[in-house]
Amino acid sequence: MTLTEAGLLKTTLLDFPGEVASVIFTPGCNLRCPYCHNPGLVDPLRFSADLLPIEEIKSFLSKRAHLIGGVVITGGEPLLHDDLVNAIDFIHSLNLKVKIDTNGLFPDRLKQLNADYIAMDLKTSPEHYYRLGLQGNKDKLKDSIEFITGAGIPHEFRTTVTEEIVTIDDMEKMALLLKDAEQWFLTPFKPGETLDPAYSHKIPPSSSYMEKLLSIALEAGINSSIR
């Protein structure tokens, strides 16, 4: 899958730790998380009309390179695009750092990227990814986690929490996988525009439930927080 167009956020102070950055949103995803807040990037039938030609985005970055320190490439799932290496090389040619957001299901492609920061979403325990429309992924997730935690690249792991997708049992299994992580952020689901309309008004997890999940991560020795 070739990256021909993408969404663009010109400036962010929040998405790349320590950097003023621009954000590129790539279309397409191999998961169908019901709580996803980017349905216009996930479902091809709903792709946003605001997507720009990639050459236009490159032109913008070239002109703005002196004002920012990095570029976040997010999605959808960026690693669906087999030419992502070329995009990163271009961004680095502008003396900008690159942060990749990924779901970790393309470990071979992830290892080929010269990223300066990696943020991986671990959605639930590997055996329960069928809840997100995918099965047979345990080895891929483990491979990506081991690469990220062992490569010496600044990184973080993230989990969006709904009580039916991230159970206590799921959390305990996830903590075992992330024992060497630098940082694990837990984020309570928030209602709004979602891929599954049933989630648009769903009640978020309680603060007590979030604290229980956090305690599991902390007891496993992982630097964790609720965000």
> How many independent structural domains does the chain possess?
1
What's the pLDDT score for residue 43? 75
Residue pair 89/125 in contact (Cβ under 8 Å)? The answer is: no
Bridge-based pairing state of the strands 117-121 and 155-161? parallel
114-to-3, 29, 134, 174 alpha-carbon distances in Å:
17, 21, 27, 26
What's the pLDDT score for residue 182? 96
Domain that holds residue 116: 5-226
What's the pLDDT score for residue 39? 87
CATH number for the domain harbouring residue 61 = 3.20.20.70
Spatial separation of the C-alpha atoms in residues 62 and 108, rounded to whole Å? 29
Spatial separation of the C-alpha atoms in residues 148 and 110, rounded to whole Å? 9
Spatial separation of the C-alpha atoms in residues 26 and 24, rounded to whole Å? 6
User: Which of 148, 121, 167 lies closest to 29 in space, CA to CA?
Assistant: 121
Spatial separation of the C-alpha atoms in residues 20 and 117, rounded to whole Å? 14
Q: Tell me what percent of the residues of the chain surpass a pLDDT of 90.
A: 89
Bridge-based pairing state of the strands 5-12 and 184-188? unpaired
Residues of the chain falling short of pLDDT 70: 45-46, 48-49
Residue pair 213/168 in contact (Cβ under 8 Å)? The answer is: yes
